[in-house]
Chains A and B, each alone.
Chain A
Amino acid sequence: AQKITQTQPGMFVQEKEAVTLDCTYDTSDQSYGLFWYKQPSSGEMIFLIYQGSYDEQNATEGRYSLNFQKARKSANLVISASQLGDSAMYFCAMRDSPSGGYQKVTFGTGTKLQVIP
């Protein structure tokens, strides 16, 4: 069974500073995908970044980058130059092997990020 672990229930960061949100995962699949989503208080799930298990380069999307360390099974999210609007819950998630059938997505417990002015 897949498992996603986020060990930081809450984090504070100063505006304009960088912050790293931790995520480790456990799977026996060779092919999988990792996501990070942002959930503001409104509840919507905002896609931030994706990393495929076979991708050799770390994914980047604007101010977001994913520090993918496959051997350690970690997929940390780095947010550079934090903004007040970054304050939200952040979820790490993983989908299982894409071979056949539908692909379930399993979510971690989340990290609440608060950006301080």
Chain B
Amino acid sequence: GAVVSQHPSRVICKSGTSVKIECRSLDFQATTMFWYRQFPKQSLMLMATSNEGSKATYEQGVEKDKFLINHASLTLSTLTVTSAHPEDSSFYICSAPGGVNYGYTFGSGTRLTVV
């Protein structure tokens, strides 16, 4: 079945540094990728939507310059958290329309801790 491979699964970084999270679709082409953020014990909140070959669409309140999204190919979308701060510590998860489960395949998530 369709798989979205997300890496890294866990990352700890120092405040002020940047972190890149990759989501790669396997066995299917993901022209669109949804990026979610989930704080502890809270729901998934959509941050942005990336589309291959065009600029990402950000949800209201999400800083474009802080969360850089690139959809370089039909199988790869990346989220870069720039100048990370402790308040950016969260669980980030991607999801691509396509594949099984009525159209949505999730990555396994990345737990980011900024110290």
A109 to B39, CA, bound (A): 11
Across the interface, B43 reaches (CB within 8 A) one of A43, A44, A91, A104, namely: A91
Chain B: residues with Cβ within 8 Å of the partner, total of 22
| Contact of A104 with B46 in the complex, beta carbons under 8 Å | yes
A45 to B101, CA, bound (A): 12
Name the interface size band of chain A: 10 to 19
| B113, chain A: closest CB distance, angstroms | 13
Is A50 an interface residue when CB atoms closer than 8 A count as contact? yes
Is B64 an interface residue when CB atoms closer than 8 A count as contact? no
A42 to B32, CA, bound (A): 25
Main secondary structure of the interface of B (DSSP, over half): strand
A95 to B34, CA, bound (A): 12
A33 to B104, CA, bound (A): 12
| Contact of B34 with A50 in the complex, beta carbons under 8 Å | no
In chain A, residues 57-103, which have Cβ atoms closer than 8 Å to a Cβ of chain B?
Answer: 91, 95, 102-103
| Contact of B102 with A35 in the complex, beta carbons under 8 Å | yes
- Set of chain A residues within 8 Å of B34, measured between Cβ atoms: 104-105
| Contact of B101 with A47 in the complex, beta carbons under 8 Å | yes
Task: Write the residues of chain B forming the contact surface with A, with a CB cutoff of 8 angstroms.
Answer: 32, 34, 38, 42-46, 49, 51, 91, 93, 95, 97, 101-104, 106, 108-109, 111
Task: Write the residues of chain A forming the contact surface with B, with a CB cutoff of 8 angstroms.
Answer: 33, 35, 42-45, 47, 50, 91, 95, 102-110
Contact sample, A vs B, 8 pairs, CB 8 Å cutoff: A35-B104, A43-B38, A44-B106, A105-B46, A105-B104, A107-B45, A108-B43, A109-B43
